[in-house]
Amino acid sequence: MKVVIVGGVAGGATAAARLRRLDEEAQVVVFERSGYVSYANCGLPYYIGGVIEDPQALTLQTPESFFSRFRVDMRVRHEVTAIHPDKKTVSVKNLETGEEFEERYDKLLLSPGAKPTQPRLPGLGLEKLFTLRTVEDTFRIKDYIRNHHPRSAVLAGGGFIGLELAENLRELGLEVTIVQRPRQLMNPFDPDMAAFLHSEVRRHGIRLALGRTVEGFAERDGGVDVLLKDADPLHADLVVLAIGVTPDTALAKAAGLELGLKGSIVVNERMETSAPDIYAVGDAVQVKHFVTGQDAVISLAGPANRQGRIAADNICGGDSRYLGSQGSSVIKVFDLTAASTGVNEANAKKAGLDADAVVLSPMSHAGYYPGGRVMTMKVVFERGTYRLLGAQIAGYEGVDKRIDVLAAAIHAGLTAIQLKDLDLAYAPPYSSAKDPVNMAGFMVENLARGVVKQFRVEDVKDLPRDGGAVLLDVRTPQEFGRGHVAGFQNIPVDELRDRLEQIEPGKPVYVMCQSGLRSYIACRILAGHGYEAYNFSGGFRFYDAVMNDRRLIERATACGMDQ
């Protein structure tokens, strides 16, 4: 059996190695257009910033090491220019010599990945306008910084690559601005949770131009102007276009394969395309979202590697199935860690799900053990069924651990209530006896049983302030004095039972504290005395972060730039 693989990075390299482990006799040929195979896309920004010093560390394997271990014929700088399903051949061009030839296959695996999205804008192709996708792209940016010592950079796009590159350029001392058409960074997060990412990048001196559309680029004064719709241009010494990626599927389209969202390759659970004996994996394929069941294109390394393994299994006569993607991800943003899995609340509602969420602010480990830091968790679930739909976390230590537990819970089909039953490891340096994941389950259970009712950030502006309800802040007077929501009166929770006469009976009571815990206790006290009480999800800390972020974005929209 002869297997030809187009693309030698995540999915293609994984498939090649798996094929050899399953079939010692198979002939495996990999064609990779770039000069590198099995390289770490996710590490590229950290090489530019100097965190990764050795460029060889970016490549997990070389063609020589791959052949030595797996006897796979890895041919770099070879571009597949056409697929001929009827003849079961591919046309190939050697980019070093210009030689063109046809290669026969019994099975063909497409792993072309994705390419940086480049809309047709004036100025594309300027010398100081870069993209970051391959090792070669990385070296070009690194060499430009080393040779020209730029002092400023504009990054068009605030996703994974844009945000990681922004951090690394800032650490090199550049003035950095991120331009993003949505009014938030990192679209996997809901806007309220993205507020914590915005705060962190602002704290490190990065300027944000959110809700701004890039309309083109122009050379000026030795640098580049980034032309914006309805705003003054941004000038920088270098610009990186990082507005996203697009499936690289021109070959598949020309060969007549069925295409789906964003021009991605349609595959079944076995990673088979619409053409016999042709498989496809990675960033170029359309998959099912594990939570919503809807078609999706999810460009992440983990799914690409699993798909490569599944395709190899099936090429060798097995019957492996890809169950769908959850989009689990984590990112370092200076000192902050932000992670997500499943769907956020906004996308759940767009998918037609009746979604709700709880927000909590637990410590990373036991409060009495030194060094604990607060994290903010948002857990999204379906009303009525309490099916766990997704989660987002922003914090410091322990964020990655909790998001992985929640990702596993979603995959296992647990409800949000069942999170309370998980038996998770505890020691004071690592967690609390009531782990944050358990706490989320307790909160959802309280909602399900009617033990507590809640209100959310978006509800605060519509609370009755004409005397139709009681608005109550149960923090200490000192906390209240440092900031509170207009219209709320202050009665500390520990004084509440003795001051109930100050709360007019027969009216709903909306209760807030710093994190949501004391206000929950206050709600139970009030319920025990016949009041209808609502607890604010997330607490004043969460409310203040979200509203401050919204004010900064609104001010930036009015004046042209976020400071």
C-alpha torsion 403→406→412→418, nearest 10: 170
Closest Cα to residue 363, out of 517, 520, 196, 549?
517
Pairing verdict, β 152-156 and 175-180: parallel
Catalytic residues: 42
Task: Report d(CA 492, CA 355) in Å as an integer.
Answer: 32
CA 27 to chain centroid: 37
Is residue 295 within 8 A of residue 125, CB to CB? The reply is no
Give me the residue label for tokens 């990779």: 32
For 346, the enclosing helix (H) or strand (E) is helix 345-350
- Angle between helix axes 539-559 and 191-203 (nearest 10 degrees) is 70
Distant-in-sequence, close-in-space partners of 182: CB < 8 Å, separation ≥ 6: 158, 210, 211
> Residue with structure tokens 């997500």?
340
Q: Left (φ > 0), alpha (ψ -120 to 50) or beta: where does 539 sit?
A: left
**C-alpha radius of gyration, the chain, whole number:** 27
> One-letter amino acid identity for 421?
D
CA 4 to chain centre: 32
Does residue 487 contact residue 501 with C-beta atoms inside 8 Å?
Answer: no
Q: Which long-range contacts (CB under 8 A, 24 or more apart) does 514-521 make?
A: 514/475, 514/479, 514/539, 514/540, 514/541, 515/360, 515/361, 515/374, 515/539, 515/541, 515/542, 516/359, 516/360, 516/361, 516/542, 518/474, 518/475, 518/493, 519/474, 519/493, 520/446, 520/452, 521/493
